Chains A and B, each alone.
Chain A
Amino acid sequence: SQKIEQNSEALNIQEGKTATLTCNYTNYSPAYLQWYRQDPGRGPVFLLLIRENEKEKRKERLKVTFDTTLKQSLFHITASQPADSATYLCAPLVEYGNKLVFGAGTILRVKS
């Protein structure tokens, strides 16, 4: 079955540094992969989508890479701020019909 792995431990970084979150998947080849942010007590919020034929995607301070050979996506936040503290979820497409499978998420804490 499909398996999604994200850093199980929280990532603690200093304000201004770059945060890098990892998403590894096994047993399938998704056509695209999405990243979401979730704050405590709230629903996830879409951040970025990257397709299998795209190596990299950027949006403001966010950057996502997608390596279909390694079966891995990296999510970077540059010049991180305390407001970036949240849980970040990786979600590759399972099958057409917009079905996603979500990783358990990585907690990011940015300290000032």
Chain B
Amino acid sequence: DAGITQSPRYKITETGRQVTLMCHQTWSHSYMFWYRQDLGHGLRLIYYSAAADITDKGEVSDGYVVSRSKTENFPLTLESATRSQTSVYFCASSEGGLADSYEQYFGPGTRLTVT
């Protein structure tokens, strides 16, 4: 099915463990983003990528790592999970400036709980 998917949808992990959240889009969009959403803070940008092998930090990148070896995939890794990383994580994609199209398309989210 075309679109943007995230996996897993729900994850419970323990403090100190490494966790990887997956994001896959079928549109070949240039831009991809990772956000976290917490009550009272809205959506905050963790990392973004303008193209394969090009990534940059967002507002709240500490403790997170990303990679983008293929255009369609943009995994987010929590190197050593902490309780403060309990949140809902959203992946998004966007065509970008060449297409003069800037709207972002969001995945369904991953609810992560760190115990």
**Interface positions of A (Cβ within 8 A of B):** 32, 34, 41-46, 49, 89, 93, 96-105
Contact = CB atoms under 8 A, between A and B. Distances in A.
B74 interface: no
Contacts of A98: 31, 33, 48, 94, 96-97, 102, 104
A102 B48 contact: no
A57 to B, nearest CB: 13
B109 A43 contact: yes
Nearest to B44: A102
Contacts, number: 55
B42 A43 contact: no
Contact of B48 (A34, A44, A93, A99): A99
Interface residues of B, number: 27
Q: Quick one: which of A34, A89, A104 has the most chain B CB within 10 A? A: A104
B102 A32 contact: yes
B75 interface: no
A102 B43 contact: yes
Contacts of A104: 40-42
A34 B101 CA distance: 12
